């Protein structure tokens, strides 16, 4: 799998290396193993869980998974409710976004603050 190294492209701008790098994934999921990640899916579902395993197609194994339930009227609007799913396999093709839960926080509008 990918190593974190390819992200440091600014340090090796040589063409050959870039060509090589493009063959491997830009996402190194190993850094999230045993850590809680947030996953968003096509269609609007969102879940978080401890990453137990993955493959290059982005199929994921998550443990202690919570799904964030959504507003029945607006499938893209999350509510505060969750439901526990336990151990799940997430299909890679429907994964839209992955981020670590550690450091993710809900904040006030940061754009108004700059005004």
- Which one of 34, 35, 44, 63 is in contact with another protein (CB under 8 A)? 44
Whose Cβ is closer to another protein: residue 71's or residue 86's?
Answer: 71
- Told to check if 106 binds another protein by CB under 8 A, we report yes
| Full DSSP string of 30-80 | GGGTTSEEEEEETTS-EEEEEEEEE-TT--EEEEEEEEEEEETTEEEEEEE
- Which one of 1, 18, 53, 91 is in contact with another protein (CB under 8 A)? 18
Provide, rounded to whole angstroms, the least separation between the CB of residue 1 and another protein: 13
- Told to check if 82 binds another protein by CB under 8 A, we report no
Stretch that binds another protein, among 1-9, 49-57, 65-73, 83-91 (CB under 8 A): 1-9
86 three-class SS: strand
The CA–CA distances, whole Å, from 75 to 13, 14, 33, 46, 111 equal 43, 45, 29, 11, 25
- Which one of 3, 20, 26, 79 is in contact with another protein (CB under 8 A)? 26
- Told to check if 72 binds another protein by CB under 8 A, we report no
- Told to check if 109 binds another protein by CB under 8 A, we report yes
Distance, first Cα to last Cα, the chain: 43
Residue 5 contacts by C-beta under 8 Å, 6 or more apart in sequence? none
């Amino acid at each position: 799998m990918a190593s974190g190294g390819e992200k440091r492209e600014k340090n090796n701008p040589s063409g050959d290396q870039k060509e090589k790098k493009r063959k491997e994934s830009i996402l190194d999921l190993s850094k999230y193993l045993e850590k809680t990640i947030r996953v968003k899916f096509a269609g609007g579902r969102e879940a978080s869980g401890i990453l137990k395993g993955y493959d290059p197609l982005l199929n994921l194994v998550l443990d202690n998974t919570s799904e964030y339930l959504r507003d029945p009227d607006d499938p893209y609007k999350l509510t505060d409710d969750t439901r526990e799913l336990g151990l799940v396999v997430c299909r890679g093709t429907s994964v839209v976004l992955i981020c670590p839960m550690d450091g993710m926080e809900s904040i006030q509008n940061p754009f108004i603050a700059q005004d």
